[in-house]
Structure 1
Amino acid sequence: MLTGLHAIVFSPDAARVREFFADVLELDSVDAGGGWPIYAMPPAELAVHPTDGPTSHGLYLMCDDIERTLATLRAKDVEVVGEVRDAGWGLLAAIRLPDGSELPIYEPRHPTPGR
């Protein structure tokens, strides 16, 4: 029934964030038309968490080795926000995007489908 998942990052500085995804994270892309890149992503998973507050949706990058991944990103002058923390379900950190926003990244400690 479903064939994939399309995620969107909204940014006031979309051009710089697109360059970051292409040049720093080295994501392949295709032109969706009019110069709008669509980036290839590694396999994805989707979780649904309960909330008593307003609904929201989150985007997290995943990696196999958080320390090695963050070292690679630091070598590319990516700011890592705070220290890696153990969230129980994974080792969690965040990276700063060129627009100043943070993008969480984690090494899962939970089973992952399709791996």
Structure 2
Amino acid sequence: MFVGSHVIIYSNDADADRAFIADVLGFPHVDAGAGWLIFRLPPAEIAVHPTDGGERHEFYLMCEDIEALFDKLAGAGVEVSRDITEERWGRLAGIPLPSGAGLPVYQPLHPVAYNLPD
């Protein structure tokens, strides 16, 4: 029925954030025209959480080893913008985009769905 998902990050400096995602994070991409890059993401999953407030959506990049990821990113000059915290569901941290926006990253400690067979 569905062939994928499309995530949008709104940015105050889209060109810088696109360059960071392409050059530093190394995500493969296509140019949809005039430098409008669209990136291939790793496999994904979706969770639905209850809320008492308004609806909102969040985007996290998942990794298998958060320390190894941050060691690799440090080699590219990327500093952690949100120190690692231990949550019951995973190890959570964040990296800054050039625009100043934070990009949450986590190492799941829960069963994952992104590698389930079709």
Task: Give the SS at the match of 1:45.
Answer: coil
| DSSP-derived class of the 1:80 partner | coil
Q: Distance in 2 between matches of 1:101 and 1:53?
A: 23
Alignment RMSD: 1.0
Instruction: Give 1:9's aligned residue.
Output: 9
Matched letter for residue 80 of structure 1: V
Corresponding position of 2:45: 45
2:81 counterpart SS class: strand
* Equivalence for 1:69: 69
Moved >4 Å (runs of 4+): none
* TM-score (norm: length of structure 2): 0.93
TM-score scaled to structure 1, two decimals? 0.95
SS across alignment from 1:84: strand
Letter of the 1:87 counterpart: E
For 2:11 and 2:108, the matched residues in 1 are separated by: 26
The corresponding residue for 1:57 is 57
Q: CA deviation at 1:114?
A: 4.0
Gaps of 5+ in 1: none
- Paired residues, number: 115
Q: Percent identity?
A: 50
